[in-house]
A = this chain, B = another copy of it.
Amino acid sequence: MTKSATARQGTASRNYPKGERRRAQIIEAAFTAFGQVGYRNASMVQLAAACGVSRAGLLHHFPTKESLLEAVLEQRERQDDAHFFRAGAAGRDGLEYFASMVRLVAHNQANPVIVSLFAVLSSEATAADHPARPYFVARYERARGQMQAAIDDLAERGLLRPDVDPTGLAADLISLIDGLQVQWLLSPDTIDMPSHLRNMLRNVIRVEVP
């Protein structure tokens, strides 16, 4: 390795982590801002100020507000996945799937910023012209598919309560989880999300979810 290559590499490794840290810091600030005031209402100028960077510095990392939104949604997805699939629940075992779901809801309840972000963005994104609309349409389709596979597994194993119709049950349980987020954010002392989810699962599944 030439001296100049070593120098370049040294510069790069000093700069790279700093740039990454800055990028992560901006995503974190956006995560909070989008959950507090929504995507449309969040201001790039205020976000830059909150991170102590210039507007140009912010635009260096995220040339558009849409690109920042994309990064925030990716990060949320990674966080969910990390927690959700920790136990390897990939929808093959229905009971294990719902056990992971209860854990995920408990994890989110300890992290209001995650819950706010999801509640605010998902409803804001229902507008026809919202840049996150395609993301949420696809996300819900995927989520319904995964959960329905878990429910079908339970149905095949005879673990659903008699008279429970598995058709469309995934959309119902996802709705329950989403709706609880809003009630919990408004009345955190009244609503305990994991307990409510467990109770509703008891109404449809014959055995206790681990």
Set of chain B residues within 8 Å of A141, measured between Cβ atoms? 187, 190
Q: Which of B122, B123, B179 contacts A174 (CB 8 A)?
A: B179
Copies of this subunit? 2
Q: Which of A29-69 contact B (CB under 8 A)?
A: 36-38, 40-41
A-B contact list, 16 entries, CB within 8 Å: A36-B127, A38-B40, A116-B127, A123-B123, A140-B187, A161-B161, A165-B199, A171-B196, A172-B180, A174-B183, A175-B178, A176-B179, A177-B179, A178-B179, A178-B182, A178-B183
The segment from A3-11, A77-85, A200-208 found at the interface with B is A200-208
Seen from chain A, the residues whose Cβ lies within 8 Å of a Cβ on chain B are 36-38, 40-41, 116, 119-120, 122-127, 133, 136-137, 140-141, 161, 163-165, 167-169, 171-172, 174-180, 182-183, 185-187, 190-191, 195-196, 199-200, 202-204
A37-B40, A168-B195 given; 6 more Cβ-contact pairs under 8 Å: A41-B41, A123-B182, A126-B186, A136-B186, A137-B187, A169-B199
On whether A203 and B204 interact (CB within 8 A), knowing A172-B176, A175-B178, A179-B178, the answer reads yes
Q: Within the assembled complex, what's the spacing in Å between the Cα atoms of A164 and B161?
A: 11
A117 to chain B, nearest CB (A): 10
Do the beta carbons of B123 and A120 come within 8 Å of each other?
yes
Do the beta carbons of B172 and A200 come within 8 Å of each other?
yes
A138 to chain B, nearest CB (A): 9
Set of chain B residues within 8 Å of A119, measured between Cβ atoms? 123, 126
Do the beta carbons of A163 and B200 come within 8 Å of each other?
no
